[in-house]
Amino acid sequence: MRRLEHTLEDILDQVDQLEVVPKEGLYFGDWIRVTTLDATYSIYVLEDGSYAVSGGWFDRHNLSPFKTTINGCTWGGSAIKVDIVAALGLRLEFGNRLLSSPIQQVEIFRFEEEQIH
């Protein structure tokens, strides 16, 4: 099996073309569903900048919902884009150092306060 290597030049060429979910654009109550090659994760944005995560590895280890941070996304190596929660084709790295398989789909559900009144 051949391992796909990414050079710094490859990464820099791709970074502006990524479809990303920036951390800065998420607010308390927002919910993100991330589908990877082998799992689906539900990520709920908490007030303190952390996330409650369910699905995938967390479900398999009876830890859902698991409160954690998100370090960012990687290309599969040590280079990490820290200002995003998800990007198509990249791997999501959780605060416990868990690394997902490549992301295939991302859906964002915005919390709207008016919905609860």
Is the preceding peptide bond at 65 cis, omega within 30 degrees of 0?
yes
Residue 11 in this model has a pLDDT that exceeds 80: no
58 or 112: whose pLDDT is higher? 58
Instruction: Please state the domain extents for the chain.
Output: 8-14+22-111
User: How many CB atoms within 10 Å of residue 38?
Assistant: 11
Return the amino acid letter for 96. Answer: N
| 6 — pLDDT class (breaks 50, 70, 90) | low
Q: What is the pTM of this model?
A: 0.81
